[in-house]
Amino acid sequence: MGIHINGTWCDDPHRVKSHVKRQRRFEAPPECKLKLDDVNFKTISEDENALLCGIFTEAEVFKIVSECGSSKCPGPDKFNFFFIKNNWEILGKDIFKAIPLFQSSGFLLRGCNAFFITLVPKKANPSELNKFRLISLIRCIYKILSKVLVNRLRKVLPSVIDVNQSASLKGGGWWTTFW
């Protein structure tokens, strides 16, 4: 597999990787600096803050694991949620140990947030980078943590989202797609 680079076909993995890195497709252009002076943002209550900052519970984590699709693609660690669910009695305690460490330090154990980016062709025989869809394969611990955080955020977002941005609330617009 390869792509066209400057009009020339290239299938050397090192050159393709170098070309993709130079594309800087995920960086914001420098002119995208927003000024938010004098904007009055809504804030969350003390109770909502306590909910967000509260210690994750094993029940909360297990609920997330139970809700995750079992047949989804495995991450770079080769494990998917089918494996984790069926071996929760063995793995659950160790998985849960990583979570308080994240909460207290803000850091994940080395390798927990490692991921692979793979290119999936949008159509048959793609020859240029924009003919591929980028997909990130992440580890299950990272997915669990992000889903626990999303569940908590889901409860407080209506308090901070302005009425003019109702498309962000559940039941409208992108919210139902991504959350």
Beta bridge partners of 9: 4
Which residue, 65, 112, 57, is CA-closest to 88?
65
Q: What is the pLDDT of residue 17?
A: 85
Q: What is the pLDDT of residue 48?
A: 94
Phi-psi region of 168 (alpha: psi -120 to 50; beta: other; left: phi over 0): alpha
Residue numbers in the chain where pLDDT is lower than 70: 26, 72-79, 108-118, 134-139, 164-179
**Non-local CB neighbours of 178 within 8 Å, separated by 6+ positions:** none
Q: What is the pLDDT of residue 72?
A: 67
Q: What is the pLDDT of residue 119?
A: 76
Q: Scanning the structure block, which residue is given the tokens 């170098």?
A: 18
Strand, coil or helix: what is 38? coil
0.85 exceeded by the pTM? Answer: no
What is the C-alpha to C-alpha distance for residues 158 and 156, in angstroms, rounded to an integer? 6
Contact 122, 131 (CB under 8 A): yes
Beta bridge partners of 3: 10
Q: What is the pLDDT of residue 178?
A: 45
Mean pLDDT, the chain, integer: 77
